[in-house]
Amino acid sequence: MKEVIAIIRPDKLGQTKVALAKSGAMGLTIIGAEGRGKQKGQEGRNRATGGLRLYRSQGFVQKILLMTVVDDADVEELIGKIISINRTGETGDGKIIVCPVDESYRISTGESGNSVIV
């Protein structure tokens, strides 16, 4: 099992949710977050303000953090989907982090192992 953490643009959340649901309805946790990257949150170009630079408090930009735990075999497909939907080519598209998961449990039944995530 692997934990996939994706930090994406808030306006891409709807599309991403639909695509992940169609691909087999994996469990998904969505957290509102703020983030900054190498550019310290100053987006080079912003479509909404017609190319004006944006300076926010300490350079933090609104982001959405998606967390899901999937089987090892599904990681590649999931990442491909997230990247294809969320890529705009501009800075601030986000990052995807893959972490190992040692154990997982379903609280309602107490079962553990791979059956928890399907």
Partner 1 sequence: MRLIRAIVRPECEEGIVKGLDSAGLGAMTKIGVFGQGRQKAKTETPVEWDEPLSRFDPVPKTMLMIIAQDDAVHTIVSVIMDAARTGKAGDGKIFVSSVEEVYSVRTGATGQ
- State the minimum distance, in angstroms, from the CB of residue 111 to partner 1: 24
Nearer to partner 1, 88 or 111 (CB): 88
Q: Which residues form the interface with partner 1 (CB under 8 A)?
A: 2, 6-8, 31-38, 40, 58-60, 63, 65, 79, 82-83, 86-100
Task: Tell which residue, 99, 92, 70, has the closest CA to residue 7.
Answer: 92
What sign for the dihedral angle of Cα 105, 107, 109, 115? negative
Nearer to partner 1, 84 or 109 (CB): 84
Angle between helices 13-22 and 75-86 (to 10 degrees): 150
Nearer to partner 1, 21 or 30 (CB): 30
CA pair distance 102, 74, nearest whole angstrom = 17
